[in-house]
Amino acid sequence: MTEFAPGDRVRVRPAGKPGHVRTPGYLKGHSGWIEGVIGHFPSPEDLAYGLSGQPKRPLYRVGFRQADLWEDYAGATDDHLYADVYEHWLEPGGKE
């Protein structure tokens, strides 16, 4: 029961969200692909305030091209970065 499947193009939501967040700022607004579904977990962003974190949220491993993340990236074009991102931080789309 996930919105995204491996291979789907996704974009990390660019807008901030108040409070404790678990998505690093350098990914916001950037596009990548779903590498895999890690599982469903209580949201740590709610657990951080003593809440239940329910319902459990899908957590994905999301792949990004390093060259898409860093303007001056000088490494190989197929260098990738993988990050664990919760579903509520992702939206469909983003160019190849």
Partner 1 sequence: MSGPHDLGGSSGGPIDRSGHEVEDWERLADAINSALGSKGLQTTDQHRRAIESLPDYLELGYYERWAAATEKLLVEKGILSQAEIDEKAGEIERRWGGS
Other C-beta atoms lying within 10 Å of the C-beta of residue 75: 9
Kindly list the distances between the CA atom of residue 63 and the CA atoms of 18, 28, 30, in Å, as whole numbers in the listed order: 25, 13, 11
Closer of 70 and 93 to partner 1 (Cβ): 70
Specify the DSSP class assigned to residue 56: P
Minimum gap (Å) between residue 53 Cβ and partner 1: 8
Binding to partner 1 by CB under 8 A, coded x per residue (else -) over 35-74, reads ---------x--xxxx------------------xx----
User: By CB under 8 A, how many residues form the interface with partner 1?
Assistant: 16
User: Residue 47, SS3?
Assistant: helix
Per CB under 8 A, residues contacting partner 1 are 16-21, 24-26, 44, 47-50, 69-70
